[in-house]
Structure 1
Amino acid sequence: MTSQSVKHNRNSPDAGQASSPARTFAMIWLMLMALLQWLVFVQTGTFENRLIGVLVAGSSGLLFLIPLNSIRRFLALAVLGVIACGNFISHLLVSSDPFPARLLQISVIYGYLGLLVAAVGQLLGRRIGTGLLVSAFVGATGLVAIEGVLGVIGPHRTVKANIVRWEGGTRPHPVLEESYPPNSVARTIYLSNPRGYFETSDPRSTQWRLGSNHPGSAARLLLLESEFHDVVRVEIDRAEVPTTWHVQLTYDGLALTRGVRYQLSFKARADNVRPFSYGVSQAHPPWDNLGWYEQIDIGTEWEEYSRIFRATATDDEARMTFDLGDAIPAVEIKTVVIHQLDSGQSVVSTPPPEYAVSYRFNDHGCRGPDYPVEKPANVRRILVLGDSFALGVGVHERDTFSAQLERTLNKDLSESPEIRYEVINCGVSGYSTMQERALLEIIGPEYRPDVVVLAMVSNDDSSWRSDVNNGYFHTPNKYEYFFNIFGLTQSYRHEMQKPPADFRESLQQVLQMRDIAQRIDAKLVAFAFRPHPLDAGPWRALIDTIAPGLRGSGVPWLDVGELLLSQNDWQSLIVHPDGDMHPNEIAHLSAAEQIADLLHAQKIL
């Protein structure tokens, strides 16, 4: 019996190799990695990513049932690990989540690498393989823990570096889903200015914040010009329930240490005598007072106020608060200084410089100045529709192709000096062709354009919808808390992955827009606003679908990318090299000139 048992054991698939617990542990580990992949892909992965992840998980389970010796089993695990790791890396190249979602991605990478090390170790012997398996697991767990600690204690941004935030917002619309509020303004703000193109933002806009904390209160913050460029003014429009904190102005960027004495000083005045409350508090929940708060009365003349206090807690995210919600008269504040009493060292951290592009929306929610609804007899009007490319994200209003087209058309009016051209830019970020058609139905009969210009891009489908939170630069997730006027924030490469079927749907929408334009005596012109090569994303699918589909339809078609890219390197045509892939002012100028040439050549105007 003993010799037979020995003989049986020697012929067993696992004889002389890694122990069953090690084998089981390795397979469970691989299945865990596949599960973690799935959790990531549910949020950001493509269908192919998810499919491969499911196949890896299923194959890992089958290895429990297939009779293989341990070396072959671990080699199979290694192959699955390579496939799954490659699948995950391809996903990361398209979309990398911010912390803490990124920690899940890091866990998968370390886990796969550790598993591959353990699998290779099996070739060197049972003990070495088992030891490497345990060591790799401990090492991967430790590295993930270190990443987590660094992520918690270290600085991190939840948006792409160099693209700081977007200020502004859209409003709900019963037909269009969303639109820009009439007579509103917005900004995109960048951390760097590599081309020297952006405006330098007023540093007060990052230091001072105004909040209305009650629906019955409304106020606005004005940055006044002065000798020292430091005066801010708060005008209170409404205070239905007079309460101090319902209108709250804050001065951010303070760092305090418990027990240390500080001196704060500032100058203030009001349009009329009024109560005035101020103090020092946390700039985050639970918003605790940090050692000073008082209410005084201020008058119409500038007066300096200076107080000494001892910080009750250590906090690197502190602020001064000015509570103004209990009265209507406007308040002006300047020359805020906070320093340690003993050393005289300032505790105010100066925010980094910001660079911005501003946007103004007219009474119809279109970018630019107001135009009379009633078109003058001597005016030829062009209505521009599209998404963020047409709107001109990252481009000053004067440099959008709409503004440059208007200047180009009005430049030479020698043949018809009585004629004047108006170009109205109604591009809306995140809009699909379906929404652009709906917008034309609404705004077309009001503006009565002679020509409708439709800008099409490679994300031109109804699935690209906006969300509360980025702007176009990476996939949105619950860890982002930045304002965004431009809808969905996601990686340009990720959002460009659209199947050709979307463009066939877009083609049908374009043909419907042609019919709508004809009903208001307008001519539709469509063009591909392409500052990128055809092999970047589905641009070729767009061109190959829309261009043939419009032949014989009566809709002139233009691909501005052909001429534009023959004269420029595509990387010189984008707004910001570190993530904002929108066309810049150079691309907009070329688009304006090519559209003007098309309109003249085909005698559309």
Structure 2
Amino acid sequence: MNENLPPPARAPEPRSSAPRDAIMTVNRPLLCQFALAAALLCWGLAPEEFRPEAAESLLLAGKNTADLDRMEAGYYEHLLDTGRRLDGETLVSSPPKPPPFKVTDLARPVDDFRECVLEPSFTTIFQQARWTTNALGLRDREYEAQKPEGTYRAVLIGDSIGVGWGVHDGEGFEPRLEKALDTQSSTVGGPRIEILNLCVPGYAPAQRREHLERLGWSLDPDLVIVQATAADLDWDEGRLRRLLSAGYGWEIPIYQDAINAAGLKPGASSSSIKKGLEAQQLRILSDVYRALGSDCSRRGVPVVWILLPRVGRSVSATERQTLVDLAKASGFDPVLDLSDAFDGLSPATLAIGPNDYHPNAQGHAILAQRLEDALANRPGAPWTQPSRPGSAGGAAH
């Protein structure tokens, strides 16, 4: 773990004020205002030598305030594919926009680079779909934190598509893929197969890596699955641009090389930040991908990288090749380009609604089948062979 990052937040306790079957989605403006006020107070009281750490705390608390929410709202809408019609027209008259995910009851604020995690042990209706999180804070079934003997465990890191935005529990591609691979493994006498879903809506690639660092590695995975879309190309760059323009984020370690290469210093104008970071867009993503690849290589854990489509949004040949090349250069293997999974199909039959590009249950079923086809018969994969004594199975290469 990078020592320059804030220490991990203490493991959260289940929320006692909301019953497990609560059906609500509420924003928390008062909590956000309190967090900002507390952060400003800490800044004023902090000794001079500790001001950098106080600045990092201000970054993490301040980004939950209304000013930054307004600044980031349009960007996150773009990345989450909400607020536009499937015909490409911007909505002129539409229902009220949902609050940013990080201020809903499903999100628990944390004082680190991730900004929020999923509320553990919680059930609600969100965006017209039933969401249930487990004790680990994952939208998934319950798992033991300690990997059971005779189990091959994978973790999936990704964004709103990976977590199953807009579909009910169990309808996403991840639980379908887990069931298919576990059934196949059981048939051949292999290990139990687990895929733990660490995806969180709104997470940029660097936040996904941070979530793996702070939670995923403690779960002892044998495999990391990285879920990507074409939005990865500018996700971290756009997010960082908005943070720096608001005076935050200058000390985030993963972005330092790009900030330095852009020649940017605190106090730079918004136009200078925009111009400088746009020129570093690929470097920013490459730095994140390479760091993730290095993390996994150091632990001897293989990485599967999957490029998924977004309903109604085509991926250009240039975007596809750029992402595939970055993934390969980062040591991800296998690199699975599934961006054509929805080609030739009507977006209206695959989207959760006319104003949201996220795949519906049928779309997730297609993604799960494509992933199963790509992974089921890979030579040496643990679900293709009997378990050896004392082993949970082979690699997924």
Q: TM-score range by the shorter chain?
A: 0.5 to 0.7
Q: 2:343: which partner in 1?
A: 565
Counterpart contact for 2:290–2:331, Cα < 8 Å? no
SS in 1 for 2:214: helix
Counterpart contact for 2:229–2:310, Cα < 8 Å? no
Per-residue deviation at 1:441? Answer: 0.9
Per-residue deviation at 1:544? Answer: 2.6
Matches within 5 A, 1:104-503: 157-159=95-97, 168-175=105-112, 176-189=114-127, 356-413=128-185, 416-460=188-232, 461-462=235-236, 463-464=238-239, 502-503=281-282
- In 1: Cα distance, 2:149 partner to 2:186 partner: 18
Per-residue deviation at 1:561? Answer: 2.6
- In 2: Cα distance, 1:562 partner to 1:369 partner: 29
- In 2: Cα distance, 1:511 partner to 1:519 partner: 12
Q: 2:369: which partner in 1?
A: 593
Q: Cα deviation per residue 1:103-150 (whole Å; 9 max; x = unaligned)? A: xxxxxxxxxxxxxxxxxxxxxxxxxxxxxxxxxxxxxxxxxxxxxxxx
Cα 1:157/1:562, change in 2 over 3 Å: closer
Counterpart contact for 2:228–2:306, Cα < 8 Å? yes
Q: 1:550: which partner in 2?
A: 327
Per-residue deviation at 1:565? Answer: 1.9
Q: 1:505: which partner in 2?
A: 284
Q: Is the radius of gyration larger for structure 1 or structure 2?
A: 1
- In 2: Cα distance, 1:583 partner to 1:173 partner: 28
Q: 2:80: which partner in 1?
A: none
Q: 2:33: which partner in 1?
A: none
Counterpart residue type for residue 217 of structure 2: P
TM-score (ref. length: structure 2): 0.57
SS in 1 for 2:174: helix
SS in 1 for 2:340: helix
168-177 or 551-560, which deviates more:
551-560
Per-residue deviation at 1:569? Answer: 2.8
Counterpart residue type for residue 343 of structure 2: L
Counterpart contact for 1:168–1:187, Cα < 8 Å? no
Structure with the higher strand share, 1 or 2? 1
Q: Percent sequence identity over matched residues? A: 22
Cα 1:545/1:504, change in 2 over 3 Å: farther
Cα 1:451/1:169, change in 2 over 3 Å: same
Counterpart contact for 1:363–1:370, Cα < 8 Å? yes
SS in 2 for 1:506: helix
Cα 1:94/1:500, change in 2 over 3 Å: farther
Cα 1:570/1:541, change in 2 over 3 Å: farther
- In 2: Cα distance, 1:542 partner to 1:528 partner: 11
SS in 2 for 1:409: helix
Per-residue deviation at 1:414? Answer: 5.4
Counterpart contact for 1:44–1:95, Cα < 8 Å? no
CA RMSD of aligned residues (A): 3.4
User: Mind listing any 5+ residue stretches in structure 2 that lack a counterpart?
Assistant: 1-70, 76-87, 243-276, 381-394
- In 2: Cα distance, 1:519 partner to 1:44 partner: 37
Counterpart residue type for residue 208 of structure 2: E
- In 2: Cα distance, 1:562 partner to 1:570 partner: 13
- In 1: Cα distance, 2:137 partner to 2:209 partner: 16
Per-residue deviation at 1:438? Answer: 0.5
SS in 2 for 1:411: helix
Counterpart residue type for residue 320 of structure 2: I
Counterpart contact for 1:179–1:365, Cα < 8 Å? yes
Counterpart contact for 2:118–2:138, Cα < 8 Å? yes
Counterpart contact for 2:311–2:342, Cα < 8 Å? no
1:527 aligns with 2:299: no
Counterpart residue type for residue 569 of structure 1: S
Question: How many equivalent residue pairs?
Answer: 256
Cα 1:602/1:442, change in 2 over 3 Å: farther
SS in 1 for 2:291: helix
SS in 2 for 1:168: coil
Cα 1:594/1:499, change in 2 over 3 Å: farther
Per-residue deviation at 1:510? Answer: 1.8
Structure with the higher helix share, 1 or 2? 2
Counterpart residue type for residue 404 of structure 1: R
- In 1: Cα distance, 2:161 partner to 2:108 partner: 20
Counterpart contact for 1:385–1:425, Cα < 8 Å? yes
SS in 1 for 2:226: strand
Q: Cα deviation per residue 1:511-568 (whole Å; 9 max; x = unaligned)? A: 21122123333211111110446xx3765554232112233543121121324425x3
Counterpart contact for 1:368–1:425, Cα < 8 Å? yes
Per-residue deviation at 1:177? Answer: 1.1
SS in 2 for 1:455: strand
Counterpart contact for 2:309–2:341, Cα < 8 Å? no
Q: 1:518: which partner in 2?
A: 297
Counterpart contact for 2:315–2:339, Cα < 8 Å? no
- In 2: Cα distance, 1:565 partner to 1:383 partner: 28
